[in-house]
């Protein structure tokens, strides 16, 4: 099923980055493939598996000409601790006001162990070099999403 965001331009937003920079999207993503993966919380089991998997495969994303950004509602301080603890080698962006996750439908009601709460779902967006959203994955499996996204970038880069 095609997500309603596929084929559309990413909303204009500026987010603080763990590397001390401000990332202006989609402008800072133009010219290369860019993967934006949203995750619920720093230093939790599923989010750690997902982040470490991107870390371990970052060279392959680079060879494919793709940038990778992880995005959550966590603070920059939390991001820096998460990066330090697990040796993450790509920037994490902070979206505490849901400036990007809200419009994209990532932030909202979530359910875990029978509890409903407001938070981020584990969704991933692939931007083309033109800043357009080429592919969306919703509620991904943190152990499988890295291979799926890399395959999609490699396939798209060949066309």
Which residues are the active-site residues?
47
Question: Which positions ≥6 away from 38 have C-beta within 8 Å?
Answer: 70, 71, 72, 101, 104, 106, 120, 121, 122, 123, 124, 125
Strand pairing of 22-25 and 107-112? unpaired
DSSP string, 1-18: ---TTTTSBPPPEEEEET
């Amino acid at each position: 099923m095609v997500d309603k965001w596929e084929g559309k331009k990413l909303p204009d937003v500026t987010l603080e980055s763990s590397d001390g920079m401000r990332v202006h999207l989609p402008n800072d993503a133009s010219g290369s493939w860019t993967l934006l993966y949203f995750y619920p919380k720093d230093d939790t089991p599923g989010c750690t598996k997902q982040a470490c998997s991107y870390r371990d495969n970052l060279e392959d994303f680079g060879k494919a000409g793709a940038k990778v950004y992880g995005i959550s509602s966590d603070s920059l301080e939390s991001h820096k601790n998460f990066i330090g603890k697990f040796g993450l080698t790509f920037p994490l962006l902070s979206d505490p006001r849901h400036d990007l996750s809200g419009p994209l439908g990532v932030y909202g009601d979530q359910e875990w162990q029978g509890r409903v709460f407001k938070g981020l779902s584990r969704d991933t967006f692939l931007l083309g070099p033109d800043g357009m959203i080429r592919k969306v994955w919703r509620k991904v499996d943190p152990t499988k999403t890295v291979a799926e996204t890399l395959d999609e970038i490699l396939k798209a880069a060949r066309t």
